[in-house]
Structures are given as structure tokens and as C-alpha cells.
Amino acid sequence: MSKLKYGFEPIYNQESKILILGSFPSIKSRENNFYYGNKQNKFWRMLEYIFNEKIENEINDKTQFLLKHNIALWDIVKKSYIKTSSDSELVNLSKKDINNISLLLPPNTKIEKILCNGTKSFQLVKKFIKTSLPIICLPSTSPANFKFDLQKWKNELK
């Protein structure tokens, strides 16, 4: 059996208006100790394009970019015995394996909607999170997703 792995802490502040939820950090992200650490992942390049702004590769720069644009970022899964980077390994999860997303919702923030980065995140949010906020499933920014749709992300972020 593989070793239990944990996700990252959330990035947010009281002014956050949009919560982007991934599923769980990839191997590369865990190696780099930050969200979307695989250079092939489209996440950071997508944000640069949508906001027409360069994002430096340092963790602090990425964090400040998100906060500047009122974006909160977290993963739905808190811990897992995942061996690879595949969401298909995220099975048999219970409430104890899921992050307490309510910590990032009003009245703690100004979150107006939840954007799920991919189907797995969306499925888990629908299963475990109770909220009246809109929950929107967007195409995964993963390099494994060949059906990425930048326009859908742009429509939700702008």
C-alpha cells in the first residue's frame, strides 16, 4: 500500500469571490509543493491569458496573483493513498478525506460561486458539500485532458 499523501492549504482571503477547486495535487505539484506544478498543466498559462498578466513562477507571486483577482484556490480532497496523478485513483473517499470547504464560504469570504477544475472535483463537491452557491464544472486544465475549453473558463472568470 502506498503512503498517505496530503493536499495543500487553501489560498484565500476575506475578499475572495470565486473558489476554484481541483481534485488533489499531482505528483509534480507535490514535488513542487504548490498547486498545478506540472509545467504541462494549463492552469497558470490560462490565468495569464484571461487576465492578460504575466505570473512569475514563485509560489508567492502565484499566491498574490490569485488574491489580487479575488480567487480562492483549494482541492476538494484533503488526503489520499493515491500513487499516480490520475483522478481515477480517488475512490472510496469518505467525508474525513474531504476538505472542509465551508471554511472558505460566506460569511468567511465573499465567494459567489465554485468553479470545479474537472469532472472528479465536481462529482466530489456535489457528493460532499452542501451549499446554495452555484457549482460549475469546467474542463480540467490537466495535460491529460485533450478537450480543454479556454472560453468556458474565461466566461466564468471574467
pLDDT at site 156: 97
pTM for the model: 0.91
Query: Any idea which of 37-46, 55-64, 75-84, 131-140 has the lowest mean pLDDT?
Result: 75-84
pLDDT in tens, 70-98: 999 999 999 777 665 555 556 666 788 89
pLDDT in tens, 123-150: 999 999 999 999 999 999 998 877 888 9
Q: Tell me: pLDDT of 25 over 80.
A: yes
Strand partners, 115: 20, 136
pLDDT at site 143: 83
Higher-confidence position of 87 and 107: 107
User: pLDDT over 90 for what percent of the chain?
Assistant: 72
- CATH second-level architecture of 5-157? 3-Layer(aba) Sandwich (3.40)
Three-state SS for the chain is: CCCCEECCCCECCCCCCEEEEECCCCHHHHHHCCCCCCCCCCHHHHHHHHHCCCCCCCHHHHHHHHHHCCEEEEECECEECCCCCCHHHCCCCCHHHECCHHHHCCCCCCCCEEEEECHHHHHHHHHHCCCCCCEEEECCCCCCCCCCCHHHHHHHHC
Q: Where are the domains of the chain?
A: 5-157
pLDDT at site 48: 97
pLDDT at site 125: 95
- φ, ψ at 24 (rounded to 5°): -160, 145
Q: Tell me: pLDDT of 18 over 60.
A: yes
